[in-house]
Structure 1
């Protein structure tokens, strides 16, 4: 399978990768659409004519963002719905409220490097939010995606996946010391493995699934990162939020991606294999088909127990 490339790159913006694309009549859901790159993802999709629902924890913030995007794009089909990804009941409620086809699902929301926090089920919170919540949401919306005929599911991962494979024998740090970045990395690897397995399972439904690294963007996602660590990032080449949303929007809406599935992208290109010591590229374990199948089965089992 040859590497997939596009004319876009590191500095491309969401508006640039979707320029000329007409999404009229298409429906999208963006989790975490009220902050960070989620806002710009919503703006780009709405600007191209899609109906977009912001699936968010803070609905008041969501309503403010939706109003601003309606004003800036002239598209009044921008809606807000509540979801708490770490709570399976909340995810089910969102799914139950959805009617009709769904053409685009952007699994964008996330938490990063937070202190140890467990859900009511005892799940490690980063894994519960970043992976299990989006896994449950995607499965719950499968029929709506299939009804669209040519739907796309986009999972926002991270280069932090290079920090950890998925530890199926101890997903929730019950038997090993908790480390915030290892937990975050594990959840981001899970996002890629989900795309790999969903691409295989859902191909017959016409559903394309890919994952991506958006790049380094200064957002509220870094709120749990210690100040001294952030100070060490001073020389890092940061993207704007408009650039950070570009790869998500490319995978969600560009005709270039038609039929491209089960892959991991960064800077609007399919990522190269990671080179040891480098902070880009994709780890081989994140694309391992056997690991992807095992994670899917374990994730399904966890969600059926609640």
Structure 2
């Protein structure tokens, strides 16, 4: 397999979230995909399987397991596909459902936008919230009461937990094994920790122990889930454009632009940069 390396949600290869991309994984088995993702060492690698004009299947693997949907790897895959086939709109068949992706080129830079599956959110059980806060080493006083805790979905499930202060968000020191066990039991992909700077600007961090990663640098799937959560709880007035800053606290700053329509999927967009060589694993929270 030829594995290409991109970073999504940043034009700087030292920022954003790195992903591996295989443009044609036809005939590649699950075990081979998982092994390749582990060798790459990024939080996810996307494996594309062309099906016809404008139609591709896609599988996403972390170094430890398959995930149903990954936003940043979708953006990376869209840009890699554009380099080979030119800009345009195509559809990815993911395990979470169909995801439309479009790309444009401006001043030599590719910008990709995906539209998520229909988002939704559910209340979190009291016992789960207690266990989650204990694993994060947070307590109730750390939460922003204006943004209630929910478990949100836009292709994968992510608890959304809003910090009352930027300082609380910056101080990430959680129990890796405890959180990993809880997330595996509840089928949560990442934890979307956020702080609201203004009505349309958010800062986020995403613990990702199920993928063997302490923290995912910039998480498109969780951002899409956040957009759906905010719309459902009427915390934004659609149509709205939101900005999510992520990765600053781990030295890989990236920016996600969310489009929140009145109905339907949430759009997630951002620039990318191509890696000339594999990035240093230590900079991405990789656990050997």
Larger % of strand: which?
Answer: 2
Larger % of helix: which?
Answer: 1
User: TM-score normalised to the size of structure 1?
Assistant: 0.30
User: TM-score normalised to the size of structure 2?
Assistant: 0.31
